[in-house]
A = this chain, B = another copy of it.
Amino acid sequence: MSDLLHDCLFLKAARCEPTPRVPMWIMRQAGRYMKEYREVRSKVTFLELCKRPDLATEVTVTAQRVLEVDAAILFADLLPILEPMGFDLEYAQGEGPVIHNPLKSAADVDRVRTLENLDSMHFVFDTVRQCRRELPADIPLLGFAGAPFTLASYVIEGAGSRSYVRTKTLMHSDRAAWGVLMERLIESLERYLKAQIEAGCQAVQVFDSWAGCLSPRDYAEYVQPYTKRLIAAVSPHAPVINFVTGNPALLGLQAEAGGQVIGIDWRSDLADVRRQLGPKRAVQGNLDPVTLFGPQDQLKRQVKSVLESGRGPGHIFNLGHGVLPETPEDNVKALVHMVRELSAV
């Protein structure tokens, strides 16, 4: 890695080294709220955009340039990895993703294929290489993947869920089948994330977007051991951001699962999180994305509050979740300037 990249704000903060200001990026920064993104997206479907390295690169690089944020994040999605694992994935118009052949019983787990060969995901690595060529030399590129629980929920529920009844019931009723599913997921995810790093990502984020539906007991028993093994395998190669949303009470277990950076949502009190994790663990977050819909004076108050709560080396500013599609674009740009200005030492 070049010195410019090694010493960029984001990676310094991930190592808990002091930085002249707080680095920031925004989850889903290349997204529908942005005019340049919508223009590209209007020509292709969502899945086509994921699979076309030229276009995926364009939206990735444009978002970083337009916003002037301190990291780019690969434009991709959590779910395409499930296709070579044997699932029939569709992004239905206005309805979010659907898996047409979800796992209906523990016996179904047998048909899940571990991803041995990464050829089918070449579009992701092509995008990484092309982004790395086009991004400024001091801007890190982040890769990402879904955490094993979040992907397991998708393949069991077949779509979004309110209560995760099918996922939890399989988990509770057949520990062996659950274990096989989680093993196949972490083996696939380990290869996938390492290949993103090898292609040129400076760090990766593991999204456990749905783990917040779990009690601490269930997370500890059925999820954390797998997430921990995945992160242990990947984090020697590049910093891992371990992001969990939806349940602040999982923090201690989440931290034990590893990751140089702990990503949290806005439900947590960032000052409490910093106290609990101590000065040697970087934290990423945690402005409520909905704050971006309100007036800018209120936005500024909330940004100040997040920065004060996060104070000290090892804070990476972000939203607590992805920026929402209808967010006013001007407020997103204003947010970047506020963080830049208010956090400068």
Contact = CB atoms under 8 A, between A and B. Distances in A.
A343 interface: no
Given A217-B305, A247-B248, A290-B164, A173 B295 contact: yes
A41 to B, nearest CB: 21
B267 A215 contact: yes
Range for the number of chain A residues in contact with chain B: 35 or more
A309 to B, nearest CB: 9
A290 B165 contact: yes
25 contacts: A163-B289, A163-B290, A164-B290, A165-B326, A168-B291, A168-B294, A169-B290, A172-B293, A172-B295, A172-B298, A173-B294, A173-B295, A173-B298, A215-B266, A215-B267, A215-B286, A215-B288, A216-B269, A217-B302, A218-B288, A246-B267, A247-B248, A248-B249, A249-B249, A250-B267
A227 B122 CA distance: 54
Interface in A78-115: none
Contacts of A294: 168-169, 172-173
Contact of A168 (B247, B288, B320): B288
A324 interface: yes
A256 interface: no
A284 B165 CA distance: 23
A286 B212 CA distance: 15
A221 to B, nearest CB: 10
Contacts of A288: 168, 215, 218
A288 B288 CA distance: 26
Which interface residue of A215, A216, A246, A266 has the most chain B CB atoms within 10 A? A215
Chain A at the B interface: SS class: helix
Interface of A: 163-165, 168-169, 172-173, 212, 214-218, 246-250, 266-269, 272, 286, 288-291, 293-295, 298, 302, 305, 320, 324, 326
A289 B173 CA distance: 15
Given A168-B294, A173-B295, 6 more contacts: A169-B293, A172-B291, A172-B295, A215-B288, A216-B269, A217-B302
Contacts of A266: 215
Contacts of A267: 212, 214-216, 246-247, 249-250
B290 A269 contact: no
Contacts of A169: 290, 293-294
Nearest to A166: B293
Given A247-B248, A247-B267, A267-B249, A293 B215 contact: no
A267 B286 CA distance: 19
A302 B216 CA distance: 12
A321 B288 CA distance: 24
Nearest to A327: B165
